[in-house]
Structures are given as C-alpha cells and as structure tokens.
C-alpha cells in the first residue's frame, strides 16, 4: 500500500503541494472548504520579487528569487497558455515622497544584484501608453510578470487529478480526524485554528475585477504597480480586462472578508488616476480576502510533529512562493529537507 497524504487547503499552495507530492508517489487527498473562500481566488497573481522587496528583508527576497527560478519549469509542466498574463512590471509613483520610496527600493535591489530600469517622460509611456499625466516616471522590472490566478488554479487541479489526487469538500476542524499517514496544513489564515501556536495574523484586503467593453482602451500589457500618495495599488491584465488591488489592513484574526466601501472607493480612485482609460471599464466583481501574515514576513514551513507539516503565512506573496513551498514541503515529507531553509522557516521559531 502507498503512502497516504492529506492536504488541508485547496488554494494555489495546497494544490501545488498535492500535485508535486502525488508526482513523488504519495496517495494524496485535498480537503478544502468553498474554493471561492481561499485567498488564491481573489489574488492578483503577481510574481513579484522586485515589486515586493523591502530594504532589510534580505531573506524574504532570497526566498522569492529561489521560487522565481522554479516558475518556468512549472509553467512548462502545466502547459496551459492562458496562465501567463504579463511578463514585465512597471513601478510608478504619484509624488515626490512616493518616488523617493521607489528610488530607495531600486537602490536596495541594486545592492542585492537586481537592477530595475529607470523610466522617464516619454520612455514610460512607450512601455505603458495608457498611464495618466500624473505619472512622470518610474521603473521597469523586466521578467517580473503575473499569472491569472484562476487559470492557474484550474490548471493545477487538472494536473493533480491526472496524477491521482482526490479533492473533497470538507471543513476540517481536527487533524486527528484525517485518515492519512501524513498531513500538510496549507489552510492560510485558517492554519491557526488547526495549530493554535501558529504566529499568523489576518490581513484583510479588497480587490476588483474590471471588464473592458469593446469601446474602451485596452488593458496594460504589463503589471502596473503604483505607490500612489502613500497607498499601494496594482493593475494586472486579464484576457477580458484588469484586476485592481489591493487594500491591506490587519484585523488580527480570521474574520469576515466582505469588502468595505471605503477600500473599494480608494482602489477605484487610485486606479483611474494611474490609468484614466479604466473609467470606461465595467466593475464585474468586488471581492475581499484574508492574507495570512507573520511577524518577520516569512512563511511558516516545516514539521510540527512526526505526522504533520505546516505551510502557511505567505502574506501577499503566496502565489509567487508556491513552487518553492511545494518543493520544501515534499522534502519534509521525504525527510530530505534543505538545511538552508529548515531553521529560517521553522513554524516554531516564534513559540
């Protein structure tokens, strides 16, 4: 009889873990609640190393870069041309303070061996013609693209099914109820319910999906990430329009993700200032999600006991970090984990 594995959580991270484990011979079952409740369902899908980098967070950047190197092979294996929606990112700012923040980030990245290309005046509009007049400059992050989160989820589920993964709709409240040799907890902010010591806080955010009517300007070819009068807003192209995100405010614990009117208003205002043509688009969906964040901005990946592995706390970068997370979790299951990451990402490091 083969080794059995239960994966609690059916978002991108849980699905990728299940797929990769099954490819290594594990008889795998995913246990999930409503798929539309996962943070993956309302994600922008950005694959951000440079866009998410923060001075001083060297380890987080190293982890993101390690995961970025795994994305090309993963996309080749999934073989779905609808997944990738952009291959580059343009970072822009609204005023002097915002521009200074971007410049500080660019200097930090350069010190870490990553270079963003400065864009000024007409250069930035040659890259992104639809940007508004308030945008006077920014940076190009080449090779830093985005995926359609829902297309990715569908492709992962198809690939997982093809290698024997079973999916069950079930709200797991006690890991002891699962009949499996090994258990992986990849339940996002819900991981704290299943392992209370988890140092995970919930960060709420709204996200919009705008549909382009035939008469409106086309969506951007690149991801647009703006620091706009102290707020963050991003525009991510889709086949039928644009995803606009994302507000962020901590709520401490798992709670109602229903969108707030003020957050939605801020997103629309900022998005239309960044790219005025979006005023003609239609609002097709308003969503809210709960991101799991940790005190040091690094996920919790590792063993809790001889039977249980935790993979949670990825914050805003869950989709980006999914490949390296799946690889590390499967290594833990097979007792071949890379010592470089085992202590750094240890789920017990705060307990």
Helix ranges (DSSP H) in 58-95 = 58-68, 71-78
Mean pLDDT score, 327-343: 92
Same domain, 131 and 5: no
Same domain, 168 and 256: no
Confidence class for position 250, pLDDT limits 50, 70, 90 = low
Domain end position, chosen among 252, 268, 293:
293
Residue 130 has pLDDT above 90, yes or no: yes
At 64 the pLDDT is: 96
At 176 the pLDDT is: 95
Mean pLDDT score, 28-39: 82
Residue 1 has pLDDT above 60, yes or no: no
Q: What does the alpha-carbon distance between residue 200 and residue 192 come to, in Å, rounded to a whole number?
A: 7
Confidence class for position 253, pLDDT limits 50, 70, 90 = low
Phi-psi label, residue 168: left if phi above 0, alpha if psi -120 to 50, beta otherwise? beta
Same domain, 52 and 96: no
Same domain, 231 and 350: no
At 33 the pLDDT is: 85
Q: The domain spanning residue 238 has which CATH number?
A: 3.30.9.10
Residue 37 has pLDDT above 70, yes or no: no
- The number of beta carbons lying within 10 Å of the beta carbon of residue 244 is 28
At 121 the pLDDT is: 76
Same domain, 289 and 299: no
Residue 278 has pLDDT above 70, yes or no: yes
Residue 252 has pLDDT above 70, yes or no: no
Same domain, 63 and 97: no
Mean pLDDT score, 151-178: 96
338 compared with 85, residue with greater pLDDT: 85
Residue 327 has pLDDT above 60, yes or no: yes
Same domain, 163 and 269: no
DSSP letter at 262 equals H
257 compared with 317, residue with greater pLDDT: 317
- Helices 12-23 & 318-333 angle (0-180, nearest 10): 40
Mean pLDDT score, 224-246: 93
Residue 39 has pLDDT above 90, yes or no: no
Q: What does the alpha-carbon distance between residue 317 and residue 298 come to, in Å, rounded to a whole number?
A: 10
Domain end position, chosen among 276, 293, 310:
293
At 105 the pLDDT is: 94
At 337 the pLDDT is: 87
Total number of domains in the chain: 2
Whether the CB-CB separation of 114 and 50 falls below 8 Å is answered with: yes
User: Which one, of 255, 252, 317, 314, lies nearest residue 289 by Cα?
Assistant: 255
Same domain, 13 and 60: yes
Average pLDDT, the chain: 93
Q: What domain range includes position 180?
A: 1-85+145-198+295-351
User: Which one, of 223, 332, 220, 335, lies nearest residue 278 by Cα?
Assistant: 220
Mean pLDDT score, 267-272: 96
Confidence class for position 38, pLDDT limits 50, 70, 90 = confident
Same domain, 102 and 61: no
Mean pLDDT score, 256-270: 89
Same domain, 247 and 285: yes
Percent share of the chain, pLDDT over 90 = 80
Which residue pairs, CB below 8 angstroms and at least 24 apart, start in 340-347?
Answer: 341/63, 341/301, 342/302, 344/59, 344/298, 345/63, 345/298, 345/299, 345/300, 345/301, 345/302, 346/300, 346/302, 347/195, 347/198, 347/300, 347/301, 347/302, 347/303, 347/304, 347/310
Same domain, 112 and 232: yes
User: Which one, of 225, 227, 232, 177, lies nearest residue 203 by Cα?
Assistant: 232
At 251 the pLDDT is: 65
Domain end position, chosen among 272, 293, 314:
293
User: Which one, of 136, 157, 201, 200, lies nearest residue 14 by Cα?
Assistant: 157
Residue 302 has pLDDT above 80, yes or no: yes
Tell me the whole-structure pTM to 2 decimals: 0.94
Tens of pLDDT, residue by residue over 53-105, are: 999 999 999 999 999 999 999 999 999 999 999 999 999 998 889 999 999 99
User: Which one, of 203, 202, 205, 195, lies nearest residue 311 by Cα?
Assistant: 195
Same domain, 72 and 138: no
């Amino acid at each position: 009889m083969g080794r059995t594995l239960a994966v609690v959580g059916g978002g991108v991270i849980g699905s990728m873990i299940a797929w990769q484990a099954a490819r290594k011979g594990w008889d795998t079952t995913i246990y999930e609640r409503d798929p539309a409740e996962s943070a993956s369902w309302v994600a922008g899908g950005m694959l951000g190393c440079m866009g998410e980098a923060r001075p001083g967070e060297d380890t987080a950047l190293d982890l993101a870069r390690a995961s970025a190197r795994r994305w090309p092979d993963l996309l080749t294996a999934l073989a779905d041309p609808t997944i990738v929606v952009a291959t580059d990112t343009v970072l822009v700012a609204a005023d002097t303070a915002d521009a200074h923040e971007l410049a500080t980030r660019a200097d930090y990245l350069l010190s870490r061996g990553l270079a963003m290309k400065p864009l000024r005046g007409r250069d930035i509009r040659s890259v992104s013609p639809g940007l508004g007049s308030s945008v006077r400059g920014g940076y190009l992050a080449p090779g830093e693209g985005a995926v359609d989160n829902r297309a990715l989820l569908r492709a992962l589920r198809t690939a997982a099914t093809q290698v024997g993964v079973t999916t069950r709709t079930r709200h797991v409240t006690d890991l002891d109820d699962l009949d499996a040799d090994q258990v992986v907890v990849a339940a996002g902010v819900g991981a704290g319910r299943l392992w209370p010591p988890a140092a995970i806080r919930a960060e709420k955010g709204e996200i919009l999906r705008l549909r382009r009517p035939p008469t409106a300007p086309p969506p951007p070819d690149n991801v647009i990430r703006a620091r706009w009068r102290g707020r963050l807003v991003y525009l991510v192209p889709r086949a039928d329009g644009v995803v606009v995100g994302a507000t962020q405010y901590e709520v401490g614990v798992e709670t109602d993700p229903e969108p707030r009117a003020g957050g939605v208003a801020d997103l629309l205002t900022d998005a239309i200032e960044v790219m005025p043509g979006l005023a003609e688009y239609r609002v097709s969906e308003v969503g809210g999600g709960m991101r799991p964040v940790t005190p040091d901005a690094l996920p919790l990946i590792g063993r809790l006991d001889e039977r249980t592995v935790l993979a949670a706390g990825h914050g805003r970068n869950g989709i980006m970090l999914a490949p390296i997370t799946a690889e590390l979790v499967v290594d833990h299951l097979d007792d071949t984990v890379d010592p470089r990451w085992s202590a750094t990402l240890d789920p017990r490091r705060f307990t």
